[in-house]
Amino acid sequence: MKSVAIIGAGITGLTAAFYLKRKGIPVTVYEASGRVGGVIQSVWKDGYLAEFGPNTILETSPKIARLIRDAGLDSRRLYSDPKAEARYIVRYRQPIEMPGSLLGFFTTKLFTVKAKFAVLREPFVPRRRDGKEESIAEFVERRLNQEFLDHAIDALAAGIYAGDPRKLSLQQAFPRLAELEARYGSLIKGQIFGAGERKRRGEIAKDRAPKFSFDEGLQVLPDTLAVQLGECVKLETIVAKLKQTSDGWWLNLLTKNGATSAEHTAVIYCGTAYKLAELQTTLTRPSATLSHRMGEGLGEVTSLDLTAFSEIRYPPVASVVLGFRREDVAHPCEGFGMLIPKVEGFNILGTIFSSSLFPNRAPAGHLTLTSYLGGERQPELALLPAEKLVELTCEDLRILLGVRGQPAFTHCVVYPKAIPQYNLGYGRYRGLLTEIENQAPGLFFAGHYRDGVSLGDSILSGCNMAERVGKFLTAK
């Protein structure tokens, strides 16, 4: 009987498992920790609903809506309040609303006249033709100007990757922007002419896509998928070794009751890049290319050296959820939240106005603010004790949002390795994954370290991988 092992019960692994099971293919999901959802963590405490990892899913593709429908969660999905569309960027030490229209752009005080002229000039900047990889910072300096980098893109890089724009690769981390330049010769022209194509493909641009969560937070999605998968999900089970056999894969499993093993026709790795580096993997059909590339000798059984994946940076991020009495916050906090560029000199990377986005995130008369510290900008901050994290966050929120007094609710969670940095040279790791898949039939890779770091990207990665593995099993 053909079966599939899925390593990791984050949203990627659960989505892939859910769709394979619906195709009638037996699946088993192995999860190292004692819970499902990976970095998704919603916690109810003292009347507050705190989200420590992701806060929203962007509905950029019809496949995302289909998963919610197929999981029977349509009635529990909550779209964000339409009034909460405003996004702020901090400049001159205060949050300024990002313009939502052309007129808004030319009248905003977020950018100087010089920056506005840089936008008018952008369609006439020649496209780069040498094919050289560049950082998002170099790209923005080349096509727009330094001010856009310092006051907008730096904040965006922190908001999406908790990353450094000087290190993040344009082609790997922001492929849409690279594509706009390559196809249309300009970001502005690409925005205008690319809209029709996106519509035909049924895709929605990330800045326009509807955002949603669930009545009891994002954890509802992995929990529901896990319930539907039932006995197929094995918690507290680490996949430590993989060995290719004559007709599939042998897995060495570490559980609290000791080591055990299982055999499956195919394996989908949906864990993290740094844990992939620790996975002891042997191929029985040695591959000249991979052996050479990975410095291994040829033999009957070849061990794959996956340690290169430990080079991928996952900087630490601390998530600080604070509850305040409404009257203790001067700013209306109506909107999605605010991003803070490095040049402004604050501790926090940004804050989500969580209780403006969805109902029931805070008790009546209170609001919830979720702030992030650390990332590539100041990784050391994320590792400070909880009291210090709260103190630094309150210090910033006092200046930025006019917060008074002490928070009524505090809860911090640290992700020691949060989000992979698609830095310059990241293409090498993606290339290596493809190469391994080609040389080791039945071993597949999906998830945030390969197909994009957002929740939506991970859901699509899981959906697409279920299709691909289904076809592989049919052909086998």
Q: Is 63 in the site for ligand FAD (CB under 6 A)?
A: no
**Segment near ligand FAD (CB under 6 A); pick from 82-90, 195-203, 326-334, 445-453:** 445-453
CB 419, min distance to ligand FAD, A: 5
By beta-carbon proximity to ligand FAD, the closer residue of 55 and 356 is: 55
Q: C-alpha distances in angstroms, 23 versus 220, 438, 469, 472?
A: 23, 24, 11, 13
Q: Is 317 in the site for ligand FAD (CB under 6 A)?
A: yes
Contact (Cβ atoms closer than 8 angstroms) between residue 162 and residue 314: no
Q: Is 368 in the site for ligand FAD (CB under 6 A)?
A: no
CB 453, min distance to ligand FAD, A: 5
> 3-state DSSP call for residue 323?
strand
Q: Is 56 in the site for ligand FAD (CB under 6 A)?
A: yes
Chain centre distance of CA 29: 21
CB 226, min distance to ligand FAD, A: 11
What pairs with residue 382 in β-bridges? none
Closest CB to ligand FAD belongs to which residue? 38
Q: Is 319 in the site for ligand FAD (CB under 6 A)?
A: yes
CB 9, min distance to ligand FAD, A: 6
CA dihedral 207→208→214→217, nearest 10 degrees, is 10
**Segment near ligand FAD (CB under 6 A); pick from 35-43, 180-188, 194-202, 259-267:** 35-43
Q: Which of residues 236-265 bind ligand FAD (CB under 6 A)?
A: 238-239
Burial of 107 from C-beta contacts in 10 A (0-12 / 13-18 / 19+): exposed
Q: Is 5 in the site for ligand FAD (CB under 6 A)?
A: no
CB 420, min distance to ligand FAD, A: 8
> Of these, 448, 465, 466, 469, which contacts ligand FAD (CB under 6 A)?
448
CB 251, min distance to ligand FAD, A: 9
Q: Please give the radius of gyration of the chain, using alpha carbons only, rounded to the nearest integer.
A: 23
- Nearest CA among 426, 429, 448 for reference residue 136: 426
By beta-carbon proximity to ligand FAD, the closer residue of 176 and 476 is: 176
> Of these, 173, 180, 418, 424, which contacts ligand FAD (CB under 6 A)?
418
Q: Measure the CA–CA gap between 59 and 230, rounded to whole angstroms.
A: 27
By beta-carbon proximity to ligand FAD, the closer residue of 143 and 167 is: 167
Q: Is 335 in the site for ligand FAD (CB under 6 A)?
A: no
CB 410, min distance to ligand FAD, A: 17
Backbone angles phi, psi at 292, to 5 degrees: -65, -50
CB 211, min distance to ligand FAD, A: 9
**Helix axes 187-200 and 175-184, enclosed angle (nearest 10):** 100
Q: Measure the CA–CA gap between 61 and 201, rounded to whole angstroms.
A: 9
CA angle 91, 95, 98 (to 5 degrees): 85
In terms of phi and psi (left: phi > 0; alpha: psi -120 to 50; beta: otherwise), the region of 316 is beta
> Of these, 25, 64, 98, 270, which contacts ligand FAD (CB under 6 A)?
270
Q: Measure the CA–CA gap between 64 and 84, rounded to whole angstroms.
A: 22
Q: Measure the CA–CA gap between 468 and 265, rounded to whole angstroms.
A: 14
Only one residue has tokens 């076809």, namely 471
**Segment near ligand FAD (CB under 6 A); pick from 27-35, 225-233, 353-361, 401-409:** 27-35
Backbone angles phi, psi at 239, to 5 degrees: -85, 110
CB 293, min distance to ligand FAD, A: 23
**Contacting residues toward ligand FAD, per CB under 6 A:** 7-13, 30-33, 38-40, 53-56, 238-239, 270-272, 275, 279, 317, 319, 415, 418-419, 447-448, 453-456, 458
